[in-house]
Amino acid sequence: MSVEILKQGAEGRLYLGDFKGEPCLIKERFVKKYRHPELDTQITRQRMKAEAKASGRCLAAGILAPKILHSDLNTHKLYMEYFDKAKTAKQLIQEIVASQAEEQAKKSLLEFCTRIGGIIGKMHSNHIIHGDLTTSNILIDPKGGDYDIVLIDFGLSHYNQATEDKGVDLYVLERALISTHSEQPFLFENILAEYRRTCGKDEQAVLSKFEEVRARGRKRTMIG
């Protein structure tokens, strides 16, 4: 089986390869030399299992995520569905801003953010915590004249009803948008508006926790 490295980071590398003759994405986690070998194996396996479970839960809830084709706990590799024509939400936002007139760009971005907010609300209403909810972990998969939104990279995900964890998810997304798209401050506001309509009965509790997390984040920034 031939492989092509697409991305390499601190946690692992992504390959383009194949599984049973079909193109797929292979995610391989690195061995962490600074951890005790048994502990490292345990943590790695837990995160691989969590990623596979979160992806399956999303799909069961009608939220698009990569299908896990195979999990090899011994070699620390996940084989998953590959979206070959997809781009990240970060890339799409940048392209819309660069290629469209201001009013049209804002209209396109508002529609886009509404869809994202609905998906995140649905994810949280099913108590799925992403753990690293950034615009780099939201894929846009073109479908004719439209597109699908696919959530990816569930390596830090877990299942939890806690409103704190949902608030942290929202805060991470807000910080990602501020850091890369600061000239479009309305993006997160629009995502949050739709989120409130779809996140379920815990809406007020989640948003209260989000405000607490945001306040703590601002305090850390001020203190340094």
Residues 6+ apart with CB under 8 A from 69: 19, 20, 22, 24, 79, 80, 81
Confidence of residue 34 (pLDDT cuts 50, 70, 90): confident
Could you tell me which of 116, 25, 130 has the C-alpha nearest to residue 69?
Answer: 25
Active site residue 153: no
Q: What is the spatial distance between Cα 178 and Cα 167, in angstroms, rounded to a whole number? A: 17
**With 0-12 CB in 10 A as exposed, 13-18 as middle and 19+ as buried, what is 47?**
buried
pLDDT of 220: 64
Q: What is the spatial distance between Cα 134 and Cα 122, in angstroms, rounded to a whole number? A: 17
Per DSSP, 118 falls in state H
Confidence of residue 2 (pLDDT cuts 50, 70, 90): low
Domain boundaries, the chain: 4-80, 87-223
Residues 6+ apart with CB under 8 A from 90: 134, 135, 136, 176, 180, 181
* CB of 151 closer than 8 Å to CB of 84: no
Where does residue 23 fall: left (phi above 0), alpha (psi -120 to 50 degrees), or beta otherwise?
Answer: beta
Helix (H, G, I), strand (E, B) or coil at 103: helix
- Superfamily (CATH) of domain 4-80: Phosphorylase Kinase; domain 1 (3.30.200.20)
pLDDT at 224 over 70: no
pLDDT of 3: 61
Global pTM value: 0.91
Question: Which of the following is catalytic: 132, 141, 153, 165?
Answer: 132
* CB of 106 closer than 8 Å to CB of 186: yes
**With 0-12 CB in 10 A as exposed, 13-18 as middle and 19+ as buried, what is 221?**
exposed
pLDDT at 219 over 70: no
Task: From the options 3.50.50.60, 1.10.510.10, 3.40.1280.10, 1.10.760.10, give the CATH code of 87-223.
Answer: 1.10.510.10
pLDDT digits 0-9 by tens, 70-117: 999 999 999 999 999 999 999 999 999 999 999 999 999 999 999 999
